[in-house]
Chain A
């Protein structure tokens, strides 16, 4: 059996609010192997995105153990978490979140620059070619269509060659056709690079393109289903 790249055991996440503490995640346990593709589905407010944030190290679990790419997140401070994220995790957002003052190329090079890679721009250019946007390298986000922006975001997420790719509703802001193209690209790259994919979505057909579908309800995992290829 392949080694687990993501391991969550008994993870709880409670956030304070004016009305009192709110339990966001409850006793979540999840093991994801290298190169596996897992979809997380569930109604709004079920804790899907919070789970993604905990895996990304952007939100700290209140209790339980989170081990990602061999790093126990409880032992790392914020800057170390950032470094681990930079080296091992790529994230694709629903709203793309490209830096508006930077060109497509600079956006893709950014995580490589943060990681101190001397060949950041060469690698970024290659990555842009892989997503079919070599000719748009010097365009700013405002000059790109929604689909192109999301392809740049995918290129940016994958440019440091992360072992783990996290995607939060990656087609949520795109029309059906463009969304389908972006999804094809995402799975194609994941397969080619043997990355581990954790995908949050409301779309059942998109979820079924993953090897496993995990259902969430009220902050807890309520079920899981293996999808036959």
Chain B
């Protein structure tokens, strides 16, 4: 009797999952052989994404947990120049426990004047710190060290630099201050701006008596508050307190920070770095995806007869697809789990390697979000690149059981699988875009990846086609190489795709790196100043000029009035409500340097509006840097309100300037008409430029003379500042380069996998050639020629694509000037050629060593 087909299907449907699962598990009995490249590709990408996420999570959770400790209270109010006085002070002290500190840059000198150093000086009151404690090496309490008369505790680095020891004295401003102890830990260090020098802690009283604090000095006054003893509903209380400050002290100009986000700048930087590295990780994963596709295709190719046997025994396409899809998911899961474990170790490794470079200790804290993101990427990429070969596998005709195939004809998967592949790709793109803060960047990255894959798929197909149509060369080795390039089921497409995608990424990273480094180190103008002098008093200007003329007659001095202020309103709207473009946002975050000038400052060019006349006496006017004005949505005639020394000053936008920041001249975003700010107490900012060939000793001598003559001023050596920035930048670039090299490892893995896909057929071909009298040299030469042609073609196109991508990233995303470096690009290309030669050579070596007979026998 014939069983009804529908009945059979119904029976089968009821048992489908367990059957698929049990078949998949039986199929897996061969172990993981052939899947190592698959696992490695997925694990590598997932490890980078998890690692980056884990590091960011660890830092963020440490931040949140230690928020109170890091900022030194529940809330910190800060403003430049002016301490809280009168009603402000009364109001603040009514809100809870308060600690007052004042921080500034200053010069510290040995008492004999022989050495001096730039320091971060902090004056603290009796209640400091409200949370945590300052640990001192000598076992003293902070109170004992700095509050009993004049005394300082210092960062041990300063002792080294000035060759001093505890018990010696230090000249700070007008005072000789004995060093009582060295600092081991300072609780709220991270939240203050990046230190340019070692910390020196003194009492507020000592700071005042040093003569360094006057109304124009660059002093940041900070008020840490402990609002409530219980932590319950702290978020509500903090929000309410922020509101209360605005209501009670509307013109005070305080910036407010609370324990929930102790350092918004660090958080933002962290988030950007996380996104960038996640994109790099994803790129590695996508390059690895080609490896996944190759591995799956090779595996399924080896399973063709088993698939055909399944079909001959009554298995439908769904069973074939289901069994192998389950296997892919299983293998991907191994890759995802091992990648996640590896990724979770990255913060530990980084803490061990970088140690103090990280702002705080990173614990292993992994949020579900990071883990799920990495797992989702791993799974989606595995599916995306497996569906196509799986779709082709389910089309394997059962007829292969009866007849041997020389090379299977390529077939397209059925449309359902094609649609599913497109859906998974779209899901992956959507996931990348919507989990990213910089969505347009993620969107364009996705488009770029699609374009790269399309270009290399096209190049592979074109190479095959051209090779097929070429006239057969006379030399047999070349004829064999060209034949292999054009052969159906040959290496051309997979190697071009694998190598091309990986190499393009590598060239991109190499050139972006080069441009950023060049931006920082090589683009300094020849005439950049040697020193910036901060906090030069107005009345000291003449004496300063005389001193410099005496000590270094060749030196050139520029000077400008310098005030600190915070933008409160933009075109009448409160600053915190202004939706600024990302590149202009920093202007609204905290205090900015302000100046006034009768003429257009050097290094600036007027691009819109008119500069005010020298004797202008009308309503306050301001000049803004053009791109910043655009970013803030300001146009000529709009008003800008700035809080200077606690007073709100509103000025009308009279003109826009283009500023050459890299000239390191005295440039300010905001320059006012002189009548606006001339009356406000302020100091001067000056630059001193020595002739290019001036010896280092004369530079140091001048600095010492300035330090001695103007103890309240601070000299910052430009090279030191650039070096300090360079150190931080170098660390960031280490992360970027490491991530970039991960893509190289992925590319290498993929390449190895791609070459392995054709290995069996290569050995078969070599066996036949050997029986026909081909020498090993001839076979080796033919393979080598094939690889060289592939490497040269792919490198050239990758070079072009990588350069274009780097140019876009540098000029459009980072908005820097693009520096093309042939060396950097060639390095990447050379590496690729070596890789292909090494992997290809190893493959050929195995081909030549393989015994001939087994490959000439039938199954």
* A contact residues vs B (CB 8 Å cutoff): 49, 52-53, 56, 58-59, 69-71, 76, 78-80, 82-88, 91, 93, 95, 97-102, 106, 110-111, 113-118, 156, 160, 163, 168
In whole angstroms, what is the CA distance A116 to B11 when docked? Answer: 5
Q: Is the CB of A88 within 8 A of B2?
A: yes
Q: Is the CB of B308 within 8 A of A87?
A: no
Residue B17 at the A interface, CB < 8 A? no
Which one, B11, B26, B402, contacts A101 given CB within 8 A? B26
- Spot the interface stretch: B315-323, B374-382, B574-582: B315-323
Contacts of B305 in A (CB 8 A): 97
Interface centre among A70, A71, A82 (most CB of B within 10 A): A82
Q: Is the CB of A99 within 8 A of B306?
A: yes
Q: Is the CB of A83 within 8 A of B314?
A: yes
**A29 CB to nearest chain B CB (Å):** 22
Residue B14 at the A interface, CB < 8 A? yes
Q: Is the CB of A106 within 8 A of B2?
A: no
Contacts of B15 in A (CB 8 A): 113, 116, 118
How many residues of chain B are within 8 Å of chain A by beta carbon? 41
Residue B5 at the A interface, CB < 8 A? yes
Q: Is the CB of A102 within 8 A of B26?
A: yes
* B contact residues vs A (CB 8 Å cutoff): 2-3, 5, 8-15, 19, 22-23, 26-30, 305-306, 308-319, 397-399, 401-403, 858-859
Contacts of B313 in A (CB 8 A): 85-86, 91, 110-111, 114, 156
Across the interface, name the chain A residue whose C-beta is closest to B311: A82
Q: Is the CB of A82 within 8 A of B316?
A: yes
A71-B2, A93-B401, A106-B26 known; A87-B316 Cβ under 8 A: no
Q: Is the CB of B5 within 8 A of A83?
A: yes
Contacts of B12 in A (CB 8 A): 83, 114-116
| Besides the known contacts A58-B399, A101-B26, 16 further A-B residue pairs in the complex with CB atoms under 8 A apart | A52-B402, A56-B312, A78-B316, A83-B5, A86-B313, A87-B2, A97-B312, A99-B26, A101-B29, A101-B306, A110-B313, A113-B19, A113-B23, A114-B315, A116-B12, A168-B402
Q: Is the CB of B314 within 8 A of A99?
A: no
**A77 CB to nearest chain B CB (Å):** 9
Contacts of B399 in A (CB 8 A): 53, 58-59
A83-B5, A95-B401 known; A160-B314 Cβ under 8 A: yes
Contacts of B397 in A (CB 8 A): 58-59
A70-B2, A86-B314 known; A95-B859 Cβ under 8 A: yes
Across the interface, name the chain B residue whose C-beta is closest to A84: B5
Contacts of B14 in A (CB 8 A): 116
Contacts of B29 in A (CB 8 A): 101-102
Q: Is the CB of A58 within 8 A of B314?
A: no
Across the interface, name the chain B residue whose C-beta is closest to A79: B316
Contacts of A114 in B (CB 8 A): 12, 19, 310, 313-315, 319
Q: Is the CB of B311 within 8 A of A58?
A: yes
Interface centre among B19, B22, B402, B858 (most CB of A within 10 A): B402
Q: Is the CB of B319 within 8 A of A69?
A: no
Across the interface, name the chain A residue whose C-beta is closest to B25: A101
Contacts of B13 in A (CB 8 A): 116
In whole angstroms, what is the CA distance A98 to B310 when docked? Answer: 10
Q: Is the CB of B402 within 8 A of A53?
A: yes
Interface centre among B2, B306, B312, B316 (most CB of A within 10 A): B312
**A216 CB to nearest chain B CB (Å):** 15
**B322 CB to nearest chain A CB (Å):** 12
Contacts of B10 in A (CB 8 A): 116
In whole angstroms, what is the CA distance A91 to B858 when docked? Answer: 20
Contacts of B5 in A (CB 8 A): 71, 76, 80, 83-84, 87
Q: Is the CB of B8 within 8 A of A116?
A: yes
Contacts of B314 in A (CB 8 A): 82-83, 85-87, 111, 114-115, 160
Which one, B11, B28, B312, B859, contacts A91 given CB within 8 A? B312
Contacts of B403 in A (CB 8 A): 49
Contacts of A85 in B (CB 8 A): 312-314
**B651 CB to nearest chain A CB (Å):** 78
**A192 CB to nearest chain B CB (Å):** 18
Across the interface, name the chain B residue whose C-beta is closest to A159: B313
Across the interface, name the chain A residue whose C-beta is closest to B16: A116
Across the interface, name the chain B residue whose C-beta is closest to A98: B309
Mind listing 16 A-B residue pairs with CB under 8 Å? Answer: A53-B399, A58-B312, A79-B318, A82-B315, A83-B8, A83-B12, A85-B312, A85-B314, A86-B8, A91-B312, A95-B401, A98-B309, A102-B29, A114-B315, A116-B12, A116-B14
Contacts of B30 in A (CB 8 A): 100-101
In whole angstroms, what is the CA distance A100 to B3 when docked? Answer: 29
In whole angstroms, what is the CA distance A59 to B401 when docked? Answer: 12
Across the interface, name the chain B residue whose C-beta is closest to A53: B399
Across the interface, name the chain B residue whose C-beta is closest to A95: B859
**B520 CB to nearest chain A CB (Å):** 58
Which one, B3, B26, B317, contacts A79 given CB within 8 A? B317
**A102 CB to nearest chain B CB (Å):** 5
**A183 CB to nearest chain B CB (Å):** 20
Contacts of A115 in B (CB 8 A): 3, 8, 11-12, 314
In whole angstroms, what is the CA distance A49 to B313 when docked? Answer: 17
Across the interface, name the chain A residue whose C-beta is closest to B397: A58
**A213 CB to nearest chain B CB (Å):** 21
Q: Is the CB of A58 within 8 A of B26?
A: no
In whole angstroms, what is the CA distance A117 to B311 when docked? Answer: 17
In whole angstroms, what is the CA distance A54 to B311 when docked? Answer: 14
Across the interface, name the chain B residue whose C-beta is closest to A85: B314
**A180 CB to nearest chain B CB (Å):** 22
In whole angstroms, what is the CA distance A49 to B666 when docked? Answer: 90
Contacts of B3 in A (CB 8 A): 87-88, 115
Contacts of B8 in A (CB 8 A): 83, 86-87, 115-116
Q: Is the CB of A97 within 8 A of B2?
A: no
Which one, A86, A88, A97, contacts B308 given CB within 8 A? A97
Contacts of B22 in A (CB 8 A): 113
